[in-house]
Each structure stands twice: as structure tokens, then as C-alpha cells.
Amino acid sequence: MPDPNPAALDFLLTRRSRPAKTLTAPAPDRAALMPLLEAAVRTPDHGKLEPWRLLVLERGALDRLADTALDRAAALSLDPEQADKGRKQFADSPLCVAVIEVQRASPKIPEIEQTYSAGAVCLALLNAALASGWGANWLSGWVAHDRGFVEEALGLAPNERVAGFIHIGTETSAPPERPRPNLDTVTTWVAA
């Protein structure tokens, strides 16, 4: 018989992200953030490649990124709504951890498994923050996928990309529960 952890299972069955726009200061300080980061990197990593790294974006960096997002949006001729959405992701965030996927050459570990590992870091960090009582949200948006932005603003190399921006802070309002997938429509039982 397995040794169950009912509290962990209950958390996973009831967890929900908090909208980034509801997050405010205070955010975890470095001492409070370190165990969350440690939990995040205890993730599946076939071949022990560590195909990810973390950028902790504090207030000064977030302000710089907000300005850079506006400049980049203008260079891309994005409409004002898209430009502001990219800006606000950083301007309104109390703290953000950018999870950076780092593709590593490997004869054994396919690139897609490295991508999955980086995504697992995002979810592990999100869940660690929520389990610690913080509000948290995993975002991407155009800023995560625009090579000009990520290279200029985050210094990403050609073999790197943003897996996610994990915003962490104090929750100001809880969203209503949303509908969840119907297990009967997404599950197939295969017996033989």
C-alpha cells in the first residue's frame, strides 16, 4: 500500500491560479522565494540536462521590461491594446520569475523532452507559490515569443526561449471557480 499524502492531493485537486491583475505587493523576498525556486527545479529532467534556468525579475527589472515592451510593440506596429498588455505584464507585477528553456545538445534526450521539463518547472513553481499562500499566475503573451524582445530585454541566446513568466505576489481577490475538464470526455481506459 502506498504512503498517501492527503494534504498534497487535496491541494492539487483544489489549486487554481490567481489572475495576474489581482496580484500586488508584498511579494516574497529572496529568503521566502528560495524554497519555491528549489521546489521548481525538483522536476522531471531526463538525462539530468537542466534544460532551463530562472531569471528572477525584481522591481527595477520589471520597470525596464515594461518600457522595453512598449518600445518593441511600437517597432512591431502592434495595436495599442497589445502594446499595453505587454507593458502591464511587467509594470503591474510585484515579482516575476522567467523560466527560460535552454535547449541542450544531447544524443539521447530529444528537444521535446527538454521543452516538457521546462514546462514542468513552470507548473512546479506556480504550485509551490500557491501552496505557500502566495497568489501566482503563469503567463506568456507576445513578449514571451518575440525574439527581438527576449534577446534585447532578457539576453536570451539562440538556443533559449521563455517557457513562462510566473508572477507571484499577494492576492487581492479570489476568482470564482471555473469549469474543469470532464474526465469522461478526456479519458480512455485501455485494458488490453
Do the annotations mark residue 140 as ligand-binding?
yes
Do the annotations mark residue 17 as ligand-binding? yes
> By the 8 A CB rule, do 112 and 43 touch?
no
Tell me, what CATH number does 51's domain have?
3.40.109.10
Query: Is 94 within 8 Å of 33 (Cβ atoms)?
Result: no
Residue at 116 is within a domain:
yes
User: What is the distance, to the nearest Å, from the Cα of residue 185 to the centroid of all Cα atoms in its chain?
Assistant: 28
Cα 55 from Cα 36, distance rounded (Å) = 13
Establish whether 15 is an annotated binding residue: yes
Could you tell me if 95 and 169 are in contact, meaning their C-beta atoms sit under 8 angstroms apart? Answer: yes
138 annotated ligand binder? yes
Give a yes or no: residue 51 inside a domain. Answer: yes
For 144, how many CA atoms within 13 A lie in the half-sphere containing its CB?
17
> Hey, what's the cell of 94?
510585484
Burial of 71 (0-12, 13-18, 19+ CB in 10 A): middle
The number of residues in the chain equals: 192
On whether residue 181 sits in a domain, the answer given is no
146 in a structural domain: yes
How many domains, in total, are found in the chain?
A: 1
Structural domain harbouring 126? 18-172
Provide the greatest CA pair distance for the chain: 60
Compute mean pLDDT per 10 residues along the chain, 192 residues long, and list them.
91 90 96 98 95 98 98 97 97 98 96 97 98 97 98 98 98 86 95 94
Specify the pLDDT at position 1: 78
Residue 73 lies in a domain: yes
**Whole-number pLDDT of residue 4:** 93
Looking at residue 103, what is its pLDDT?
A: 97
Residue 104 in marked binding region: no
Report yes or no on 99 lying in a domain. Answer: yes
pLDDT of 113: 97
Report yes or no on 131 lying in a domain.
yes
Q: Which residue has the cell 476568482?
A: 175
139 annotated to a ligand binding site = yes
**Is there a domain that residue 167 lies in?**
yes
